[in-house]
Structure 1
Amino acid sequence: MNMTLDNYNSTEFIQSSSIIKQSNTHPIDTNNIDNVFNITSCIIITFMFSLIVIFSIFGNILVMWIILNNRRMRTITNCFLFNLSAADLLTIFQIIPNVYYVLQNDWIFGIAYCKFSQFFTSFNIAISVFTFIAISSDRYTAIMFPLRPRSKLKTVICAIVAIWLISFAIGLPGLIVATVYPKNLSNLQNIVNSTDLLVVVKQISVNSPDQYVSNDCILNWSSEWSEAYDYTLFVLMYVLPLIILATTYIPISIHLWFHRGLGEVTRAQAQNVQSKRRAVKMLCAVMLIFAICWLPYQLFFILLQLSPTIKSSHSLPIIFICCYWLAMSNSMYNPIIYVLMNKIKQKYKACFYHQLLVCDVIKGLLKRNLSSFVNKLKHIPLN
């Protein structure tokens, strides 16, 4: 079925990146973007996001490696933290293209990666949120009902698989309706429907055959669907999880810090309580950092829905890139929290010293072999 441009409002196709929330009805005025991000600001922004990529890769891979290579670390909570690190690693695959998109005001990565990026925007958040809920549920059961049997590893694996499947379903709309549109719609004559996906046919006018048309990666649906999807994600991925986490960790904290058991408390029991307190502190810190990092990003799009007049603001791209950096930086904070507030600190140190030892051994072997090689060269006759 052929569809003409008369069916669309051209303002709906102005800049709306995969990270500028998934809709063609959330435009940022592209005329402002070109004026805001000069060379200096682009260098600074690229450097700041590069820090996220580097620290996220190093920290999360190290966490996953420690958990995999230490049997004592393979607890239920750490299995979920392993899953959280895996989700954090996935975020780096969308940072680089999305930052380029915002700075250069052009999507050059094709329709396939556009769909991938739109999908992972919601997919990654969902994995983190549902993992937090799973951890809080496990901690609540273990601390408030200590006599109940603990979850087995098989149950934890099933829970993680369920988290990924549900998260996939939440991100699916982005995978289905995401597409790439050129910004200069005046040079387009028609849009055709091919294999159930809207494909843009770029037909440059005869008067300007060499004209380059920059593109936008957007979700192609109505403003009503966009508004419903945005509010649903805000409630489902932010408000509701925080309420659930509060209803679990507040009773846990009251029980650990204010509850006094009957009889004399042994030293082993006191150490057990202290260990649980440290674990709860660490988990609360991880979730609090998550809530702080993602709050400006979530509110950014709610404000766009409530006040459409701010969409053409000259400072809006700067505000967005700051919100996006803060949200993405969450992926590098968790390993730091684990080190500062958990016994994984010793594992990090052991891993670090082990790497230094390996490097020293390798350097010693290379030095010894090089010395032996030089001595052999000295004894080779020249004739």
Structure 2
Amino acid sequence: MNITSHSMNSTEFIKSSSSSTSLITVTNNLQNTITVHNVFNITSCIIIIFMFIIIVLFSIIGNILVMWIILNNRRMRTVTNCFLFNLSAADLLTIFQIIPNVYYVLKNDWIFGIAYCKFSQFFTSFNIAISVFTFIAISSDRYTAIMFPLRPRSKLKTVICAIAAIWLISFAIGLPGLIVATVFPKNFSNLQNVVNTTDLLVVVNQISVDSPDQYVSNDCILNWSSEWSEAYDYTLFVLMYVLPLIILATTYIPISIHLWFHRGLGEVTRAQAQNVQSKRRAVKMLCAVMLIFAICWLPYQLFFILLQLSPTIKSSHSLPIVFICCYWLAMSNSMYNPIIYILMNKKFRKGFYTAFSCFPYCREYIKKDKKIKTNATSVHTLQV
């Protein structure tokens, strides 16, 4: 997350001071130009916090439940479900950066230090990459299984290696944020041209000591040139959004055509028809998961692209409001997947009811499911 606001005063100061590195000059100008804009009142803060609490609670409960269902049932440990387990783990990790980032936007101040600033900038790209590459791995596995059914299926060892590769590649994508992220005083994000980061933070601390009424708020930013920032944002947009959607389309469109319009030679047995129906349901569920991901993350991705295309909007007072809406939608993606699994997959739904079998309705569902299975087995035996 890289939200900064540059006032006209700070810009003029940077231009006029670019040839000087005097800490005294910097201190005097800082004291004269400190401004803090907070567009959120108490009511809006309460509403926003409540909305993010919903994400945190549903994400924790839902994703832990998905992981428990897969681990608790040996039949659920399929290749696709192993990747879904990885996706749930990534979604679960998302919640650990929500609270600090929401505080940052609402209070217009980064109070968590340089270490967590680096982690936060790293983790956003890292987390998105895990989800995106997991989707690609799932689509590749589904494409091979459905389009080339005679090929041997991926073994557990291969899946584990693929997941490890996903995490390593994702780490590499997030690495720039870990390296160049730093904390700068608000409205002075370009002061690295005047003094180094350490000296600047010393100045800010000294201002706080000498003038307690002059509080200097901070930004957590990527400390590099605007050219590098622009290149990085565009690269992430293409690499983490556009290209994956193209890959997913080129795999799921042929899969859908094959499952819904392809007719095999000869008579189709009941077992074959059920197998096709099962694959269709799985593809529908996976497409729903990926579609929700694309919808949730699109505004967030476009937000930073628009900042690059039109830098003047950075001075807009409504910018934090727009960002918090985009950020909420992006983070909310972590709570939707478990809901989709339960609604669209019978095995996950059964696992959900089993987990909450202490409730009468869930116990009743499990009993009905057992009766249906028993009756189906009896009918099959009589037919044989």
TM-score of the superposition, structure 2-length normalised?
A: 0.81
Q: Distance in 2 between matches of 1:46 and 1:102?
A: 11
Q: Gaps (5+ residues) in structure 1?
A: 1-8, 15-29, 358-383
By how many angstroms is 1:176 displaced? 0.6
Q: Distance in 1 between matches of 2:305 and 2:271?
A: 50
Letter in 2 for 1:350: T
Question: May I ask how many residue pairs the two structures share in their alignment?
Answer: 331
1:158-210: CA deviation from partner (whole Å, max 9, x where unpaired): 00000000000000011111111122759x9974467xxx9732331886256
1:163-178 equivalence runs, <5 A: 163-178=166-181
1:264-290: CA deviation from partner (whole Å, max 9, x where unpaired): 100000000000000000000000000
Letter in 2 for 1:349: Y
Letter in 2 for 1:329: S
Secondary structure at the aligned position of 1:353 is classed as coil
Q: Judge which range, 107-116 or 346-355, deviates more.
A: 346-355
By how many angstroms is 1:317 displaced? 1.4
Letter in 2 for 1:162: A
- 1:289 matches 2:268: no
- Going from structure 1 to structure 2, the CA distance change for 1:185 and 1:199 (only over 3 Å counts) comes to closer
The share of aligned pairs that are identical, in percent, is 88
Quick one: which of 255, 264, 273 aligns to 1:252? 255
Partner of 1:101 in structure 2?
104
Letter in 2 for 1:200: L
- Going from structure 1 to structure 2, the CA distance change for 1:13 and 1:78 (only over 3 Å counts) comes to farther
Q: Distance in 1 between matches of 2:68 and 2:12?
A: 46
- 1:346 matches 2:350: yes
Secondary structure at the aligned position of 1:126 is classed as helix
- Going from structure 1 to structure 2, the CA distance change for 1:33 and 1:210 (only over 3 Å counts) comes to closer
By how many angstroms is 1:314 displaced? 2.4
1:301-360: CA deviation from partner (whole Å, max 9, x where unpaired): 111111122221222211111111000000000000000001211111111105789xxx
1:208-248: CA deviation from partner (whole Å, max 9, x where unpaired): 25632211111100000000000000000000000000000
| 1:179 and 1:220 in contact (8 A); partners too | yes
Letter in 2 for 1:247: T
Q: Distance in 1 between matches of 2:141 and 2:228?
A: 36
Partner of 2:201 in structure 1?
200
Partner of 2:367 in structure 1?
none
| 1:144 and 1:255 in contact (8 A); partners too | yes
Coordinate RMSD, CA, aligned: 2.7
Q: Distance in 2 between matches of 1:233 and 1:37?
A: 30
| 1:230 and 1:302 in contact (8 A); partners too | yes
Runs of 4+ off more than 6 Å: none
1:104-128: CA deviation from partner (whole Å, max 9, x where unpaired): 0111111111111111010000000
Q: Distance in 2 between matches of 1:120 and 1:310?
A: 26
Quick one: which of 52, 58, 65 aligns to 1:55? 58
Q: Distance in 1 between matches of 2:186 and 2:274?
A: 63
Q: Distance in 1 between matches of 2:208 and 2:351?
A: 63
Q: Distance in 2 between matches of 1:85 and 1:298?
A: 21
Quick one: which of 108, 122, 139 aligns to 2:125? 122
Secondary structure at the aligned position of 2:268 is classed as coil
| 2:63 and 2:91 in contact (8 A); partners too | yes
Partner of 1:37 in structure 2?
40
- Going from structure 1 to structure 2, the CA distance change for 1:355 and 1:151 (only over 3 Å counts) comes to farther
Q: Distance in 1 between matches of 2:13 and 2:118?
A: 16
TM-score of the superposition, structure 1-length normalised?
A: 0.81
Quick one: which of 260, 265, 269 aligns to 1:262? 265
